[in-house]
Amino acid sequence: MTEVIVSGSSNGWVRDILLKLWDPIGGVPEGEYDTYIPGILRMMDTSDSRGLANHLLEIERSAMCLPVPSRERAQRTAEALFAARHFDDR
């Protein structure tokens, strides 16, 4: 399992999770997915992990034009994001 360190601003821990667990393109530079962070944080305020996973899948399909998005990867990432936010809120 990939270790994700939760520290710093929301952008920092969300970026870490996106790069280490989601990364549908693979091997991108740090900051590659930063434009998606505000929408992900908004989605986390109004949805659950399933809704967030669907949002990540939609990003893969629409914004990245990936032909076969991974539901398992998106769900695992969504769950990690919610868990990290809970930890960060302490």
State how far the Cα of 54 lies from the Cα of 71, in Å rounded to an integer.
8
8-41 per-position pLDDT tens digit:
467 899 999 999 999 999 989 999 999 999 999 9
H helices, E strands: number in the chain: 4, 0
DSSP type of residue 28: P
Q: Read off the tokens for 65.
A: 């034009």
- Burial status of residue 79 (CB atoms within 10 A of its CB: 0-12, 13-18, 19 or more): middle
45-72 per-position pLDDT tens digit:
999 999 999 999 999 999 999 988 999 9
> What value does the mean pLDDT take over residues 39-44?
95
